[in-house]
Amino acid sequence: MQGSLGIVDWGIGGLGVYSCVKQLSDIPVLYFSDSGSTPFGQTPTKQLHDRLQKIFEHLASLGATRIAIACNAASAAYADTDEVKGIITSGVKILRKYGETNNKIGLLAGRSTVYSRVYANQLGPRKFNLAQRVSQPLSAHVEAGRLDGEELHRDLKKIMRPLRNCDAVLLACTHYPAISDQINRYVNKDCEMLDPADEIANWVVENWRYTSSGSKDRVLTTGNSKDLRKYGKLAFGVDLQDIEQVSL
């Protein structure tokens, strides 16, 4: 199948998914950052669904034939289809694996993701030893390039206190892997950080019969291209060159 993979996030968090995909495949990617709009975690569900549909249609017009939603808030607002895969499904798959051994698992996510109970609902009736924590300030720190320092650790200290004895922590926001080393300082030494980005990247390469077309990656944003370039490289080591400004 020809075409490109669309990766959608509000800001730079999805660049972690982008990196995982590029490590596994030469599939051309259309990366879409919608940071010019209201943050996805603050957008009502119906409005967010409609916004995502508009973005997907735009990416389809540019040649995207598959979409990876690299944002938990957006994934909670848009059900998976054959063409669209949200990162929450990947997170749930990881939780099921670790829950089988009755480990205590922490879940770090934004407010809308935690309050939606999407993880608990998709896990089903079986009881999991899952401790969810609203970690709203962390994504803002990453977006602003604050990957260490007093402000970040002040928030981490409060957020992580109930999770210090977890066997694993699911990073249910694609921004959080950029500060996983800092998060690790607030859990026991054997605690494992679980990143759904690897799982969704595996879904892309395992379920898409792709034939290389020689197309190049493209990066589009409704927000500030300079910030996307600067903080994307700082947080995820991705060197974005030509960023296209778009308006939807």
| CATH code of the domain in which 51 resides | 3.40.50.1860
Instruction: Please tell me the total count of domains within the chain.
Output: 2
Same domain, 102 and 184: yes
Q: How far apart are CA 141 and CA 108, in angstroms?
A: 14
pLDDT 10s digit of each residue in the chain, 248 long? Answer: 468 999 999 999 999 999 999 999 888 999 999 999 999 999 999 999 999 999 999 999 999 999 999 999 999 999 999 899 999 999 999 988 877 666 789 999 999 999 998 998 888 766 678 899 999 899 999 999 999 999 999 999 999 999 999 999 999 999 999 999 999 999 999 999 999 999 999 988 887 766 665 678 999 999 999 999 999 999 999 999 899 999 98
133 close to 157: Cβ distance less than 8 angstroms = no
Same domain, 225 and 164: no
If we measure between CA atoms, which residue out of 107, 105, 106, 115 comes closest to residue 77?
Answer: 115
pTM (2 d.p.): 0.93
Structural domain boundaries, residue 37: 4-86+198-245
Backbone angles phi, psi at 147, to 5 degrees: -90, 0
Helix spans in 146-213 (H): 150-160, 180-183, 196-207
Same domain, 185 and 101: yes
